Amino acid sequence: MTAKYTVGQYLVDRLHQLGLDHLFSIAGDYSIDWVNNYVQPGPIKVIEEVNELNAGYAADGYARLKGIGALCVTYSAGALCAVNPIAGAYVEKVPIVLINGTPSIKRTLTFEQTGFSAHHFISGRETDLQVFEYITAATARVDNPDLAPMLIDYALTQCITERRPVYIELLQDIVDCPCKPAPAEKLTPAAIMSDPQSRTESVKALSDALINAKNPLIWLGLEIDRYGLQDQAKRLIQKLNIPYVTELLSKGVLSEDDPLFAGVFDGQASSADVQTLFKNADFILSLGVWLTDINSLGWMFDFARTAFVSLDTVKYGVFFRAQVALGHFIDDLLAADIKPSKQTVPKPVYKKSGVTAADPITYQGFYDFIPQFIDDNTILGSDASMNYFGSMLLKVAAQRGFISQSSYSSIGYIGPAATGICLACQAMENNKRVIVFTGDGGFQMTAQCLSTQARFELNPIIFVIDNGVYAVEQWLADASVFSDKKAEFYKSCELRRWNYSKLAEVFDCGGQKVETYGQLEEAIADAKGHPKRPIVIQVVLADRKSIPANAAWKEPLDAHNVPIRVAR
């Protein structure tokens, strides 16, 4: 057989050119030939995952750092398990390629025309494609070798342009078909366009507002990260000498050591200083910020003094201009004649832990104790749980040193995402240690992440806060339960308790159960001494009603959304 260039090879080459060094995969006979014959022998390392949910989250964590992530699954039975992570990536603008190994043309036609089904088929060729059309930036059904390069290039270009997941349906009988080789030049994102008039008028309006403001504030959002605008944003902040805050979704977008960094803004969960800064600012320039309930907890915005430059538009009170790219807008502000502000910037205050080794651990106490183990070589991650509150106030010295899925907020995200984050750090050779915080409810959803991490000798430290309850769910539904000593948790929020530290025996990883700060310190020292295995640290909260201090503001509401005071 003469050596030929194939569709299977084309996809591998295009992905690798984009910086993909790892592919998360769950074997299936519709995709296995592509993985075995084209990915495995090549430069992309295959990471055999335990299920598609975890594979999707791992690809998400990976892509947040590497700028591209990918998973390969099998038709319907596999692919539909990946719907949730792909939806999360769509919401949060994470560029993931989902490769779906799909039954051959022959099998498809046979099923559609005779009813003789091939395994995994639901209703013919449209099912998976239609499901993913809603939650991806592009779908491509690669069912013809001549069209394959064009379809693959289209999907991948959409992925890196929109920074959103794309779906490639790779038919099993097309993989080995010859096609034209991948060009040497890698794909690049399509240009982002701005309307010149909108751009000029927006910069004029907002630079006037900056010039007139006595206490301006900058609020950096996640688009600064997704569009790689960190350096531009940093230069702008320095030029204007304006304090800035981030949001939970964009925490760590710049190093929190930056002298102009004032803290993370998350509504009433923010520090008192950040709340005051927000209230006293006479003009807030938000760059790439998305308004979400979790990133603005309990806060009423004053839109008359807050300008939003994001999602390709500029909104400031009744001023609205469309089609203004964030990068272009920052460039123009950098060029504008605006004098630096003379404000003094309040430094974030980090609380010191005042506990003794024998004290029982509380949710807040944990977060006061943990900073001593975090440095600029650490990447932190937090799951949707009470951990959002605690972790948002930790100092993150590393740029891009914090990861959370805090818009979509699907619990169980951070454990498997840590697999991808560790592998991305390996590929980037940055030697960072990954430390993540999850609730016990979230951890129960995707605990098999430990298996993949042990298999590939990855070393995340996973703190499972063991309170036996879906605390934040209870808090959202009725927060009074936490302050009313006699009140019971909703039955639907009670968890079956697991002995998480014993998972060490199941998965051949590290496992420690801690109830006091002394034990916690020893467990962390043990974890740091084992660079080649994951460790789960089960942090048992004796008081199941203990919650982080910045979650205590929430008043229970009556049926009319009016706060009611609980008799204590």
Ligand X SMILES: Cc1ncc(C[n+]2csc(CCOP(=O)(O)OP(=O)(O)O)c2C)c(N)n1
Instruction: Tell me which stretch binds ligand X (CB under 6 A): 18-26, 249-257, 302-310, 409-417.
Output: 409-417
Token pair in block for residue 149: 């390069």
Token pair in block for residue 252: 């760590």
Nearest-Å Rg of the Cα atoms of the chain is 25
Instruction: Tell me which stretch binds ligand X (CB under 6 A): 150-158, 255-263, 465-473, 511-519.
Output: 465-473
In the bound complex, what is the minimum distance in angstroms from residue 499's beta carbon to ligand X? 15
Helix (H) or strand (E) holding 367: helix 363-369
Contacting residue, 361, 465, 509, 527, with ligand X by CB under 6 A: 465
Taking the least distance from each CB to ligand X, the nearer of 158 and 480 is 480
Kindly report the number of other CB atoms within 10 A of residue 320's CB atom: 12
Question: Contact between 415 and ligand X (CB under 6 A)?
Answer: no
Q: How far apart are CA 198 and CA 312, in angstroms?
A: 10
In the bound complex, what is the minimum distance in angstroms from residue 341's beta carbon to ligand X? 39
Taking the least distance from each CB to ligand X, the nearer of 465 and 479 is 465
Taking the least distance from each CB to ligand X, the nearer of 278 and 489 is 489
Query: How do beta strands 319-322 and 313-316 pair?
Result: antiparallel
Contacting residue, 160, 396, 418, 472, with ligand X by CB under 6 A: 472
Contacting residue, 306, 364, 378, 410, with ligand X by CB under 6 A: 410
Kindly report the number of other CB atoms within 10 A of residue 490's CB atom: 14
Q: Which residue is nearest to ligand X (CB)?
A: 439
Q: How far apart are CA 422 and CA 65, in angstroms?
A: 10
In the bound complex, what is the minimum distance in angstroms from residue 53's beta carbon to ligand X? 9
Token pair in block for residue 196: 């010149």
Question: Contact between 523 and ligand X (CB under 6 A)?
Answer: no
Question: Contact between 473 and ligand X (CB under 6 A)?
Answer: yes
Instruction: Tell me which stretch binds ligand X (CB under 6 A): 228-236, 319-327, 410-418, 523-531.
Output: 410-418
233: left (phi over 0), alpha (psi -120 to 50) or beta: alpha
Taking the least distance from each CB to ligand X, the nearer of 283 and 437 is 437
Taking the least distance from each CB to ligand X, the nearer of 108 and 406 is 406
Question: Contact between 386 and ligand X (CB under 6 A)?
Answer: yes
How many residues at the interface with ligand X, by CB under 6 A? 19
Contact in structure between 512 and 535 (CB atoms under 8 Å): yes
Strand order in the sheet with 313-316: 261-264, 244-246, 216-220, 283-287, 306-310, 313-316, 319-322
Angle (CA) 409 413 415, round 5°: 145
Token pair in block for residue 494: 């009670």
**Ranges within 435-464 binding ligand X (CB under 6 A):** 439-442
Taking the least distance from each CB to ligand X, the nearer of 18 and 445 is 445
Provide the binding-site residues for ligand X, judged by CB under 6 A: 384-387, 409-412, 439-442, 465, 467, 469-473
